[in-house]
Amino acid sequence: MVIVFGLGVLAFGIHFSFHRSSRPQALGTNASPQTRTSATHDGVAIQPLSASDYSRLTNWLLTPFVPRNEGLTPGYAQEGIRSLGTNALPVLLALVRHQDTNLPQAGAAMAVVGFEALGATAAPAVGALVECLDDSRPEVRSAAAKSLGEIGPPAASAIPRLLKALWDKEPWVRIWAVNDLVRIPGQPDVVVPPLVEFLEGPSEKSDMGEWEQVAAIAALQWNYVQNATQAIPVLRRMTNAPSAIIQMRASDLLSAIEKPENPHPYPRYDDYLYRTSQK
């Protein structure tokens, strides 16, 4: 199975069609969508961006999707985003919510780029992203879920809502929610039972359904292997699953639970998800 980040971009319903009027250099002519007063997010003071800083930010956020964007490289763009720090959060949240009318199509993917660059620095936005998980629009919910994972462990307060998102009717919301549970550890008694229930429940007979199950196994193995004994029955059933990678990952986790004296080295997470040949 080969699933790459490009599918995540598709999940947000983004279909880039960059006409000259929407190229980054044109963004400087539009005012920032922020109000011109300072604000706070979780007690952190946020200063509004100037029009020039907003233009630079949108250029940086577009860089991964427009490789020749004025010669900028993704690494340089990430440093630029980090230089704005938490002051970039109102713009990123507006993109998640599809409130930035300058960038109506590209916004969700651009927001994820920003949260990836800021990482834990974006922790003041966790509460607002959790609220976005209740939005009626699936593209907003999926962007919010993906962004929470980019923040990482400081987004632990989102775990109860992410567990609820495991049952979202939109597949990409489920996928990003279960991936978040790999990247954001929580209390075992809170997280393990819902993950086991998720593995026991119905899953799509597709690559996406396979990804969901493998990611749920990864969350248990990465963060809760010493507290995952209740997963043993479903894992044993999964060793007979049609999917070779599900069989292998279920077997790996069973071994880690039942034989903790023989720890199995974890592969990179991408390899864990996609490669059936790595033991």
Report the pLDDT value the prediction gives residue 63, as an integer from 0 to 100. 86
Rounded Cα distance, 93 and 144, in Å? 9
Name residue, tokens 């860089």. 63
Q: What is the torsional sign of CA 68, 71, 73, 78?
A: negative
The count of structural domains within the chain is 2
Same domain, residue pair 73 and 130:
yes
Query: Taking phi first (over 0 means left), then psi (-120 to 50 degrees means alpha), and beta for anything else, what does residue 269 get?
Result: alpha
Most confident of 52-66, 151-165, 255-269: 151-165
* 122 and 214 housed in the same domain: no
Is residue 176 one of the residues assigned to a domain?
Answer: no
- Give me 61's structure tokens: 């956020």
Question: How much is the average pLDDT of 259-268?
Answer: 63
> Is residue 64 located within the same domain as residue 125?
yes
Grouping H, G, I as helix, E, B as strand and the rest as coil, residue 12 is coil
Q: How confident is the model at residue 24 (pLDDT cuts 50, 70, 90)?
A: very low
Give the predicted TM-score (pTM) of the model: 0.81
Verify that 214 and 244 share a domain, yes or no.
yes
Confirm whether 178 is domain-assigned.
no
- Greater confidence (100 vs 180) lies with 180
Are 165 and 189 contained in the same domain?
A: no
Cβ atoms within 10 Å, residue 200: 13
The average pLDDT across 216-234 equals 95
Same domain, 122 and 17: yes
Structure tokens at 96: 């998640």
